[in-house]
Amino acid sequence: MQPDLSIIIVNWNVADLLAACLESIAAAPVTLISPHKGAASSAPTGTMWVEVIVVDSASTDGSTAMVRERFPWVRLLAQQENIGFTRGNNLALEIAQGRSLFLLNPDTVVHGDALNILVKYLDDHPHVGIVGPRVLNGDGSTQSTRRRFPTLLTAVFESTWLQGLAPRRILDRYYVTDQPDDGTFEVDWVQGCALMARREVYDRIGGLDAGYVMFSEELDWCRRAKAAGWGVAYVGSASITHYGGKSTEQVQANKHIYFQQSKIRYFRKYHGVLAALMMRLYLILSYGWQWLLEGTKWLIGSRRGLRAARVAMYGQVIRALLRG
C-alpha cells in the first residue's frame, strides 16, 4: 500500500527535541507504517497511512540509538558525516513513497489533526503543489513563515543589522502581514521548517537545490514549483510548534555564513550575476561595519568576552564572503 504521506526529518544533535517531535506524530490520528512490520499503530479504517523517515547527520548525542529503541516504526538513515539539511532531505526524498511529502524540522511538535488537514488541502486543490501550516513559537505566538518573493531591497534589510530601520511597507509585504494568521490563502513561498509538497511536484522539478547547504532551499523549491505551474498555500487551520534553530545555534558562525551565501546564490540564480555581486559587496560591508563596531567596544572594555566572540564570528563570515 502506498503511504498517503511521507514525513522527512533531518536531525543533528537534538535528540530530546526529535523525541518530542516523533511522539507528537505518534499521537496524531494517523496510521504509522513500520519499515519492518507494516502498520505500526492501529487506527480506524479510512485514516491516513504515514511513513516517517529520519536522516541523522552523524549526531553525537545518542539520537540514533534513541530512535532505534523508542521509535521502531521510523525508517532511520544514519549518516557517517554531517551531510547538511538540503542533502539530507534529498536523500530521504529519493526513497519516500508517500503521495504527499512533508519536510519537517526535528525541533517541532505537530498539533491535533494538522497532518490530515494539510494532505486534504492538497487533495482538494489540485492546482496547489506546496502547502505550509501555521507555525507557533514556544510561547504560543505565531511565527512568521509565509512569504512573498524577496526583492533586492527586501534583502538589504531583512535579517541584517538594518532590519529595524526598514520602511514598514517593505517588510510587511514580504512577511504577508496583510493576511490573518489563522487564514488560508496562496503565497509565494513557505518556510521549510514544515513544508508539504505533492509527489507530482517532486517528480516534475526534482528535489531541493543542493547548492544551498541550508537556508533559501525552500524559497528556491517553491519558486521552481510556481514556475512549473503550481500554487503555494498557507493553511492556518493546521498548526505546529517550532522551537527554532536548535541545531544551527550550535554553530553560530556557520549559520551566518550559510544564510548569507544562500541569499547570494538565490539572487544570482533568479536576478543575475550583477545582483549577486551587489549583494555580496553589501554583505561584506555590512559585516565589516559590525566587526569594527564590536572591535571598538572591545577596546574600550565593554563586555570583552562577548565582543571578542562577535569579532571572531564576524571575521569568519567576512572571510567566507570574500572567498565566494
- How far is residue 258's CA from residue 85's CA, in Å, rounded to a whole number? 11
- Which of 207, 232, 247 corresponds to the end of one domain? 247
At 162 the pLDDT is 79
- How far is residue 106's CA from residue 122's CA, in Å, rounded to a whole number? 23
Same domain, 30 and 99: yes
Same domain, 265 and 137: no
Same domain, 158 and 61: yes
With cell 525508517, the residue in question is 75
For residue 232, what are the β-bridge partners?
130, 187
Q: At what angle do helices 304-323 and 273-299 cross, to 10 degrees?
A: 160
- Number of helical (H) and strand (E) elements in the chain, helices listed first: 11, 14
One pLDDT digit (tens) per residue for the chain, 324 residues: 789 999 999 999 999 999 999 999 999 999 999 887 666 655 555 689 999 999 999 999 999 999 999 999 999 999 999 999 999 999 999 999 999 999 999 999 999 999 999 999 999 999 999 999 999 999 999 999 999 999 999 988 887 777 888 888 999 999 999 999 999 999 999 999 999 999 999 999 999 999 998 889 999 999 999 999 999 999 999 999 999 765 555 557 788 888 899 999 999 999 999 999 999 999 999 999 999 999 999 888 878 888 899 999 989 889 989 887
At 251 the pLDDT is 57
Give the CATH number, domain containing residue 168: 3.90.550.10
Same domain, 180 and 53: yes
- How far is residue 112's CA from residue 27's CA, in Å, rounded to a whole number? 8
pTM score: 0.90
Same domain, 198 and 286: no
Range of the domain at 269: 251-323
- How far is residue 318's CA from residue 283's CA, in Å, rounded to a whole number? 8
Give the total number of structural domains in the chain: 2
Same domain, 20 and 93: yes
